[in-house]
Chain A
Amino acid sequence: MNTQAPVHQGRLKSPFYSRIEPLDFLNEWHEWKGYSSADSLYCADLEYFAIRNATAVFDLTPMTKYRISGPDALDYLNRLVTRDMAKVKPGRVAYAVWCDDQGQVIDDGTIFHLREGEYRLCSQERHFAWLQASALGFDVSITHETEDVAALAVQGPTSFSTLSNMGLEGLGELKPFGLTHFDFQGTELMVSRTGFTGDLGYELWIDPDKAEALWDALFAAGELYGIRAIGTHALELSRIEAGFLAAYMEFLPADETVRTGRSRSPLELGLNWLVDFKKPNFNGRRALAEERRNGSAWQLVKLDIEGNKPAHNSYIFAKEKGNKSEIGFVTSAAWSPICKQNVALGTVRAPHGKPGDTVWVEIYYQREMHWNRQMAKASVVDKPFWFPPRRGATPPGPY
């Protein structure tokens, strides 16, 4: 007789749910890896500006998290990801991608070097099977800890003032991609200077039992600094402005694609700087070395598009007229409120898409039921659309 209770079949609630729910005026939620996650709470436009103007708080608890430790943790990670993890000292965080043997990206994520030999890997997708398969022959322990860690992104120009006001002394010394630990009511609070917004910002990591207390302390500290909870819509817009990639937008996890040629390599995603051929073998190394020799098929592009109509789902062409076929398509598009630019990320066939190139984007937009078509000129840019000086300033300014 089966005595097991059935699995939880509804949406999970983050440990911050009790605090977010009262701030929710719109009742617009979606599912994120089993959790209820707010699209927006009161107005996506204004929530976006909390990121760019004050302090925005986003619940990133549903982010997939793994703890990786053991004597071979470093060697293991170096085998797993394409960049050299030996350069990532304790107290540092690294953005990384990991590939299959064909050099195709399975996912991207951040790896936190918590303490000597102890790491946390955060990613969009769930990869326990792959992480275990890659661990063959390494003395390493891999634990899934998504539910065991409550996490908040605290982003925006006054985020440093807010956190300082919460009593996090010495936070000013923390450099971008650094992490440090504080005591919060007898519990360890990990703070990293990381985020998905391209602005000054931090991420806070704590035991779920202390989640509500942390939220309350944070919002009390931020009251005079314009602190606001935000949903995914606002975050997504800032992500595009920062030029960051999103799984299922700019690439598909290689192990989930059905059709050949629908995955991407790190080189095709403009992540050459993340692939270190000098280090010993790593997953996908041979294939990537060959791609480097023979050239990539695709190139991720950042596009600055004329006009103000966002280029959602647009085809990209090499010329304005007389095109027989497209050279690629837009993967993420937005009107950037901070840059007042019409921006997009896209993927085009090599050798197109070099910085400085001009391409044409076919934009369809609807006005009162009727559709209009516009061929808009776009230039390929190499820098993020938004990279304010405050993002890199140490110590950060008050706003």
Chain B
Amino acid sequence: MKTYDAIVVGAGHNGLTNAAFLAKAGLDVVCVEKNDYIGGAAVSRNLYEDWWYSNCSYVCSLLRPEIYRSLELHKHGLQVTPYGGSVQFMENGDYYGSYHDHEAAYREMARFSRHDADAYKRYSADTMRQCRFIRDFLLSTAPDPTSFRPKDLLELARIGGKFMEMGEDRMYDTIRFWTMSVAEYLDGYFETDVIKTAMSGSGIIGTALGIHSPGTAYVLLHHYMGDVDNNVGSWGFARGGMGAVSNAIAGALQAAGGEIRTDAGVEKIIVKNGKTSGVALENGDEIHAKVVVSAMDVKRTYLKCMDKSDLPEKFHHRIENFKIRGSSGKVNIALDGMPTFPALPEGSSLYHSDMHFIDSMERMERAYDDWKDGRWSEDPYIDMVIPTLNDPTMAPPGKHFMSCFVQYCPHKIEGRDWTSAEKDAFGQTVINQIANYSPDFKDLILHAEIRTPEDIEAEIGITEGNIFHGELTMDQLLFNRPIPGYAQYRGPVAGLYMCGSSTHPGGGVMAAPGANAAREILSDLKRPNTVPQSFGDD
């Protein structure tokens, strides 16, 4: 049977990216995928008539432009269209909007508080400073602070240099920033509850933490550090849904001579004499290669697809304790027409924005309390978008696709499996909260797909359906991601690598883990590097 140079397990966007850069270096690569479609959590699924659902990830910003450019994703059909603004609907019938246009955004903030409108400049500069600091390290391997290898020392010196450059005050700020809660961070600037609420959402998306939990300020950064066309912090829609991202990367992979095999779930990663030699598929086939790269999360990789006896004890233990907790669900809806939101002025640009239906920090924290009790939030934080207002390709003209990201939603209900009645009730909670602000919304619903973390795990394979493949807290970031000593994409077995979002720099449709892992693999194989460098100072 044919032996490949490398097998990449999982055709999500990171697996495909990794495979594409390996293939570009001339390696004979196959990317295997358990589902009969590719894309993992960056997919467009045709689940109802002529509607295409971005039914997992739904917006795009973190995708590294260096990778986009290097893989020529536009030639493979990818187009990312920015959209502007967000809106917070309020219980008192008012709303707080944030606008793409700076002056409009200022005036809206000043409607609530002139103090906050003026404070925003300082907030924005402080947050941008942190963005600049981290953005530069996204497309590089995190150095190991305990290592004396020249590569690590050089990179540590570079980070240290960038850190020192900030000056004393800002160094203190940075250390505080990385460990504080998003609520405390925002309290340092703003006085208005709804404004803080609007900004706090980015601090908890994808995490099993509340706005008052330490570490959530960094998560906010994780949602700000992306860009669309150099506009840092901007978000966009992939034309045709998020599947367009995966399909374009797959196009680049195939153009470079790589293969993709669907319906090819991996049962076991084969290890012999401390080295991997390939994978055994669920269908009984074996595929052989000296390099196996797992794009799966680390728990699935090491606890489900490997024998405990093949792994060091301490490593195994640490992986077992890796924090990867289901905290969010999705409700994807096909609409017969555009729902109205009477609180908004007619024709408001905010119709095109991210919509939220929660207006106080207290409600945000209470939503988290429900999760701690093993329940979904009765009054959830919803991040709702209607991409079809921008994208003519995802639904028939005049019809719409609505994506609702919902937090919090536990992996298990009070420790046991979800019942179908509970799943429906979860969906109803979401629909009801939106309907509170849109009287015609319910009548326009043609079809709804309700996805709990349990569903996402079952279909996509991500442990607990955690969108980031593991919490983005300091103990699991940079040289600690996924675990100390294994943060440079190499597994504990020779020839085994990791390239999923469990590795640096973490989750989101970024493609950086896949690319960074490819650079390390090519270096080990003494092949020329195909992975682009960071564009640098922005």
Residue contact B230 to A53, C-beta cutoff 8 Å: no
Chain A contact surface mostly: loop
Q: Which of A44-83 contact B (CB under 8 A)?
A: 45-46, 49, 52-54
CB distance from A231 to the nearest CB of B (A): 14
- A339 CB-CB contact with B under 8 Å: yes
* A and B contact pairs by CB, cutoff 8 A, 22 listed: A43-B101, A45-B229, A46-B84, A46-B100, A49-B81, A49-B82, A52-B79, A53-B81, A53-B239, A54-B390, A161-B392, A224-B397, A225-B397, A226-B390, A307-B536, A308-B65, A308-B538, A337-B229, A340-B65, A340-B68, A341-B69, A341-B74
The yes or no answer to A42 lying at the interface (CB within 8 A) is yes
Q: Chain B: which residue is nearest A165 at the CB level?
A: B397
Q: Which of A347-371 contact B (CB under 8 A)?
A: 367
**Shortest distance in angstroms between A378's beta carbon and chain B's nearest beta carbon?**
14
Asked whether B48 is an interface residue with its Cβ less than 8 Å from the other chain, the reply is no
Say yes or no: A161-B397 contact (C-beta < 8 A), given A42-B349, A338-B79, A340-B65.
yes
Interface residue from A45, A225, A308 paired with B392 (Cβ < 8 Å):
A225
Q: Are A372 and B101 in contact (CB under 8 A)?
A: no
Expressed in whole angstroms, the Cα–Cα distance for A372 and B73 within the complex equals 29
Residue of B nearest to A385 (CB): B74
Chain A 130-165 near chain B by CB (<8 Å), digits 1 or 0: 000000000000000000000000000110010000
Is A335 located at the chain interface by the 8 A CB criterion?
A: yes
Chain A residues, Cβ within 8 Å of B239: 53
Q: Known contacts A42-B349, A225-B397, A337-B229; decide if A367 and B537 are in contact (CB<8 Å).
A: yes
Which residues on B sit within 8 Å (CB–CB) of A224? 397-398
Interface magnitude class on chain B: 20 to 34
| Contact A340/B69 with A45-B229, A53-B239, A372-B537 known, Cβ cut-off 8 Å | yes
Check if A340 sits within 8 Å of B74, measured CB to CB. Answer: yes
Roughly how many angstroms separate A398 CA and B396 CA in the complex, as a whole number? 10
Q: What distance in Å separates the Cβ of B369 from its nearest Cβ neighbour in chain A?
A: 39
User: Does A182 lie at the interface of the complex (its beta carbon under 8 Å from any beta carbon of B)?
Assistant: no
A399: CB under 8 A from chain B? yes
Q: Is the CB of A308 within 8 A of B535?
A: yes
CA distance A308 to B536 in the complex (A): 9
Contact partners of B391 in chain A: CB under 8 A: 53
- B147 in contact (CB, < 8 A): no
Q: Is the CB of A226 within 8 A of B73?
A: no
Cα–Cα distance between A225 and B389 once the two chains are bound (Å): 9
Q: How far apart sit A166 and B391, CA to CA, in the bound complex (Å)?
A: 20
Judged by DSSP, the binding face of B is: loop
Complex Cα spacing A41 to B533, Å: 37
Mark A96-122 against chain B: 1 for CB-CB distance below 8 A, else 0: 000000000000000000000000000
Residues on A with C-beta less than 8 A from B84 are 43, 46
> In the docked arrangement, what's the CA distance between A308 and B230, Å?
8
Least Cβ–Cβ distance between B205 and chain A, in angstroms? 24
* Residues of chain A contacted by B229 (CB below 8 angstroms): 45, 335, 337, 340
**Interface residues as binary, B522-538 with A (CB distance below 8 Å gives 1, 0 otherwise):** 00000000000001111
Q: Closest Cβ of chain A: how far from B349's Cβ, in Å?
A: 7
Say how far B185's CB is from chain A's closest CB, in angstroms.
Answer: 23
A372, closest chain B residue (CB): B537
For B398, list chain A residues within 8 Å (CB). 224
Q: Is the beta-carbon distance between A54 and B392 smaller than 8 angstroms?
A: yes
Closest to A310 in B: B230
Known: A43-B101, A337-B229, A367-B537. A157 touches B392 (CB 8 A): yes
Residues of the B chain whose Cβ atoms lie less than 8 Å from the Cβ of A372: 537
Inter-chain residue pair count (beta carbon < 8 A)? 66
Tell me the residues in window 145-198 of chain A with beta carbons closer than 8 Å to chain B beta carbons: 157-158, 161
Q: In A217-263, which residues have CB < 8 Å from any B CB?
A: 224-226
Of residues 263 to 310 in B, which have CB atoms within 8 Å of A's CB atoms? none
8 Å CB contacts to B: which residues of A308-338? 308, 335, 337-338
B46 at the binding interface (Cβ < 8 Å): no
Residues in B306-352 with C-beta less than 8 Å from chain A: 349
Contacts of A52 in B (CB 8 A): 79, 81
Taking each of B69, B82, B101, which has the highest tally of chain A beta carbons within 10 Å of its own beta carbon? Answer: B69
CA distance A340 to B74 in the complex (A): 8
How distant is B181 from chain A, measured CB to nearest CB, in Å? Answer: 29
Chain B residues with Cβ below 8 Å from A338 are 74, 79
Given contacts A43-B101, A53-B239, A307-B536, 13 further A-B contacts (CB under 8 A): A45-B100, A45-B229, A46-B82, A49-B390, A53-B79, A54-B392, A224-B397, A225-B392, A308-B538, A335-B230, A339-B69, A339-B74, A367-B537
What B residues does A367 contact at CB under 8 A? 537
Task: State the CA gap A206–B128 with chains docked (Å).
Answer: 50
Q: Which residues of B contact A25 (CB under 8 A)?
A: 101
- Complex contacts, A226 vs chain B, CB 8 Å: 389-390, 392
> If A45-B229, A308-B230 touch, does A340 touch B397 (CB 8 Å cutoff)?
no
Q: Chain B residues with Cβ under 8 A from A46's Cβ?
A: 82-84, 100
Least CB distance, A375 to chain B, in whole angstroms: 13
Query: Which residues of chain B from 372 to 420 have a CB within 8 Å of any chain A CB?
Result: 389-393, 397-398
Near A by CB (< 8 A), chain B positions 55-104 give 65, 68-69, 73-74, 79, 81-84, 100-101
| CA A335 to CA B81, docked complex, whole Å | 14
Q: In whole Å, how far is B264's beta carbon from the nearest beta carbon of chain A? A: 31
- Asked if B231 is at the interface (CB within 8 A of a chain A CB), the reply is yes
Complex Cα distance, B38 from A264, in Å, reads: 51
Alpha-carbon distance A282/B224, docked complex (angstroms): 59
Given contacts A308-B230, A340-B74, contact A53 B535 (CB under 8 A): no
Roughly how many angstroms separate A339 CA and B79 CA in the complex, as a whole number? 8
What CA separation (Å) do A157 and B392 show in the bound complex?
9
CB contacts (< 8 Å) of A307 on chain B: these are: 535-536
Q: How far is the CA of A383 from the CA of B288 in the complex (A)?
A: 41
Whole-angstrom CA separation of A341 from B71 in the bound complex: 11
**A293 smallest CB distance to B (angstroms):** 38
Nearest-Cβ distance from residue B357 to partner chain A, whole angstroms: 25
Tell me, rounded to whole Å, the shortest Cβ–Cβ distance linking B65 to chain A: 5
Q: Distance in Å from the Cβ of A75 to the closest Cβ of chain B?
A: 44
CB distance from B69 to the nearest CB of A (A): 5
Choose one: A42, A43, A399; the contact of B393 (CB below 8 Å): A399
Q: Please, how many angstroms separate the alpha-carbon atoms of A254 and B537 in the complex?
A: 41
State A178–B160 Cα separation when bound (angstroms): 62
Q: Tell me whether A43 and B100 are in contact (CB under 8 A).
A: yes
A207–B65 CA distance with the chains assembled, in angstroms: 46
Contact call A53/B390, Cβ cutoff below 8 A: yes
In the complex, A225 Cα to B69 Cα: how many Å?
A: 29
- How far is A335 from B228 in the complex, measured between Cα atoms in Å? 11
Tell me, rounded to whole Å, the shortest Cβ–Cβ distance linking A310 to chain B.
9
